[in-house]
Structure 1
């Protein structure tokens, strides 16, 4: 419900995105993303619904791309789940921020996972293709034209499915999120998280902004997905 947060607050920026933000707070933010995403992002459900069935039915190694991977915690988790099941997959995380890639590379991760400083347009220009393309907490950073451009890139990159997972703007989510400060201290998590909620889409807004052929889904708690499947 959005009684108070009626419109996207596109003028807000997240402190961690500033090139001169406190490096110690930034490092703790990257480290704490693992906890926040494990509790709130719902990737366990999305893995079982979309990735696991694909991985189990492929005769060859599946390539998975994470756009805007940040500190890399999502791919570390997905790579671990696939490895536990003995499923053959490689995972590539890209992010234009060198600080994010430096953190992702130094954190322990499965040998099937690599990280690059790049954006989606760079990979399209290089002619790269992936079976599954995904992102986590990227959509709320984008204006409507930027969203269209990202979707166009993903249609060229993905051989199978695209899964963009993000926050759903909701008054209750905004009220409850400061509780994350009980476990995520001395970082940008709470302040930037609240800004992210205010910048994020409602399902109706995302449906209106999405290009033809894309669908919007919602999951608890306060999540939405923008989905596409190759013809």
Structure 2
């Protein structure tokens, strides 16, 4: 399948994909809303010979959150972001000034996949033993697409996930080997409060989140510093 032009291959992969989110326009870099290209290099050219995309998420200005929602790799200028979920990995591509940022999360490194929806923002979240990736999606993304992508990834995880050794900045803050999060420490927010207001593609701060199991949560806590047993936890460590 590696033969032929990127456009020909994109057409073939889009026809084979199980979900309509995989489009020729995104794969081949021929979207009308991005006349100069969402990315410098079309996503289809980054796929291995027999690799097949199953789901695609996109956003205009949000990029990818590494470790936390605040630590983001954002697209430059008129570029954007594409998250391609294939049969092997989740490929996160962020258009930069001169080149694309490429963040790869193999399915066999994933501990859990989930999604979060809100009035102003939508996220597809991947967690490995020590890392976390917040893949922002445009707010019009359907919940059925997010749920299907999360289920697809979790079906391809292993009982003993291998950590991603690349230093990509996505390390989670931990205490005694456990991630500092609301799941492990009830009442403690995952991140400092984000700036209010939406971006130009309608993506802002989550007002509610939902995981892959359908459990709803409300973002809570206005403190910008996390404490553990009365002592502040330094996020820079």
TM-score using structure 1 length: 0.30
Looking at CA atoms only, which structure, 1 or 2, has the larger radius of gyration? 2
- With normalisation by structure 2, the TM-score equals 0.29
Structure whose residues are more often helix by fraction: 1
Higher RCO by CA contacts (8 Å cutoff, separation 6 or greater): 1
